[in-house]
Amino acid sequence: MNERKPVLYINDDKCRNSYSCVRVCPVNAIEVRPQKEHPTIIPSRCIGCGLCYVSCSPRAIEFRDSKEEVKHLLKSEKKKAALIEPSIASEFDDITDYRKFVAMIRSLGFDYVHEVSFGVDLIASKYAELFSEAEGKYYITANCPAIVKLIEKFHPEIASNLAPIVSPMIATAMVVKELYGEDVITIQIGPCIDAKDEALIYRSGRLVDGVLTFIELRQLFDEYGIQERLVKMSEFDPPYGYWGALYPVPAGIIQAGGLKRDMISSRVITASGKEDALEAINDFDKYIDTLRHHFNLFFCHGCLLGPGMENHMEKFRRRALVSRYTEKRISTLDKDLWQKNMDRWLKLDFSRSFTPNDQRIQEPPEEAINEVLKIIGRQDPKDELDCGACGYKSCRDFATTVAKGLAVPEMCHTYNVRNKQEYIETLRQTNRKLAETKRALKESEELALKEKELAQNTSEMMNNMLEKLPSAVVIVDNALKVVHSNQSFINIIGEDAQAISEIIPGLAGADLKTLMPFNVYNMFTFVLKEDEPVVSKDIHIEEKMLNISIFPIKKNKICGAVIRDLYAPEVQGEELINRVSEVIDKNLEMVQNIGFLLGEGASETEQMLNSIIETHKKRSTKKGN
């Protein structure tokens, strides 16, 4: 069998963290932890009461859907029997006649349609017998599965006081199995969500094969297009119920059992609804020797307002609908036949047992509770408001639950208000700081933009200047990759460099080692490594004589070079002049020193050199013209 979903669970995609489910849960089965995005239902603690489902406006609480399972069962070749709770009177008041309702059920594919009211009559009779033979022991009725779970999990010490009798649903299923054989498929239809779990207890889930809520039944009617106006009337299958039709009313089963209900002679107290049921169990646990009554308990306000119904209001109108329906049903009942059926089926074994399953959490230490009270601003008892907005009876109860790890301080309304005010003030301060930061950022952006424009202009100016220089210029990084070069450098290198520059402007990123011979790029390596310049070195490359000066720009990272082709006409004359001038400058001092020895010879030598320079200048000028 595939693992079933819990009977109630939270759909995280729909959850809006309103915590309404946490507030209404009577047993703290829904935990809220800081590390989790949404609340979580703890199946082991859940009693299936459905209050969380009813209270959740975003419909994030969902229950185990049985429609697909039932649709599969309805396709079986076996006979199928529907077990209908008498609560139909309060739920399906839009259907004019119960016989139309029965016909609509048959249209889904059911062979038999039985009313659970006869099962109520059987169990009511068993309660009357049990109570009359109690002899000082007092019992709590076990018809409501939420009440049974509540006692087994949170009051296990009184689990032995649960009446050891099956519910009307189970009794009806037993009768139907006896009537048609064990192979007949039985589907319970009613207002209770937790009946889905109750059905799994008996015969490994094969006594009641499936459970539909009234909500799911309406959905199936819509899916199959089944409407009252399209069907003929049909009656329930016998045996028919008697006063069991009053079962939706909390005290209905007591009346069905013929038990007295007056204040003096009655030995049974009936309580329904969350508050009364919890208080009744608490009082039974503590004061049964004073009370000396059996308790008939329903967690809902009877089955008039079960969580598996479309609406959960108008209790007294629904009560009137049930009374009217009961009156109509018993007006045509053959009471002798009913009694005969009762005598027949009361021979079945309707006994059951219970399993205590203590889910109570140990009370946290006082220090932990006080710490939570301090966090929510309630460390002084005078500050405790006990407003109940969190869903707990008192601030201390809430703090205890937080200390147990089942709630968070944010569920406290006043804590949130205080935090909200602090948050608003913090937000104001943050906004002020943000505005100041924004202004500073804007000023910084404007300054950065100006600096960027200046740098860009400077870069463009430098690039233009480099391009206008007749000498070749190249700048490389420490990997000997070209950072920038001008056209003169590309012209000196040759055709290969020209082709590369057409693809990569300025040879940016090109490897110097592929452009120049080893003895040249080795000088670049020296400058980068030693951070020392190489000045005016003459290098023969193929048919060229290059004069190279390399100098560091950024230590060990970037260097630059100025290269001149000494064979270029415009360089030859300039170079000759520079070098002759250099010779004159270097020898002038010597000439002056030996002038006295050479006499006018030194002057003639200087005149001769100057004549050579002037002659070369004139030739250069003529060629230029």
Q: How many CB atoms lie within 10 A of CB 107?
A: 16
**Contact residues for 324 (Cβ-Cβ < 8 A; gap 6+):** 89
Long-range contacts formed by 33-39: CB under 8 A, 24+ apart: 33/405, 33/408, 34/408, 37/12, 38/10, 38/12, 39/10, 39/15
pLDDT of res. 609: 47
Per-residue pLDDT band for 363 (boundaries 50, 70, 90) equals confident
Evaluate if residue 377 carries a pLDDT over 90. no
Residue 216: pLDDT over 90: yes
What number is the average pLDDT over the span 214-236? 96
Average pLDDT over residues 105-113: 97
Question: 48-57, 482-491, 543-552, 573-582: which range is least confident on average?
Answer: 573-582
296 pLDDT band, cuts 50/70/90, is: very high
CA distances from 238 to 117, 172, 176, 179, 241 (A): 11, 11, 10, 10, 8
Out of 202-216, 249-263, 275-289, 416-430, pick the least confident: 416-430
3-class DSSP assignment, residue 355: coil
pLDDT tops 90 at residue 288: yes
* Nearest to 372, CA basis, from 390, 347, 351: 390
The 10s digit of each residue's pLDDT in 380-438 is 666 666 676 666 777 888 888 888 777 777 777 677 666 666 656 666 776 777 777 78
Q: Are 245 and 111 in contact (CB under 8 A)?
A: no
Report the alpha-carbon distance of residue 494 to residue 544 in Å, rounded. Answer: 11
In this predicted structure, the answer to whether residue 1 has a pLDDT above a threshold of 70 is no
Ordered DSSP codes for 391-450: SSSSHHHHHHHHHTTS--GGG-HHHHHHHHHHHHHHHHHHHHHHHHHHHHHHHHHHHHHH
Q: At a CB cut-off of 8 Å and minimum separation 6, what does 429 contact? A: none
Reported as a single tens digit per residue, the pLDDT across 86-98 is 999 999 988 989 9
User: What does the alpha-carbon distance between residue 37 and residue 454 come to, in Å, rounded to a whole number?
Assistant: 52
Is pLDDT of 352 > 70? yes
DSSP state of 174: H
Residue 422's φ and ψ, nearest 5 degrees, are: -65, -40
The mean per-residue pLDDT over the stretch 577-606 comes to: 47
For residues 119 and 125, the answer to whether their CB atoms sit within 8 Å is: no
**Range from 281-290, 491-500, 616-625 carrying the lowest mean pLDDT:** 616-625
Alpha-helix runs per DSSP H in 111-266: 117-132, 145-154, 168-180, 195-198, 214-224, 252-256
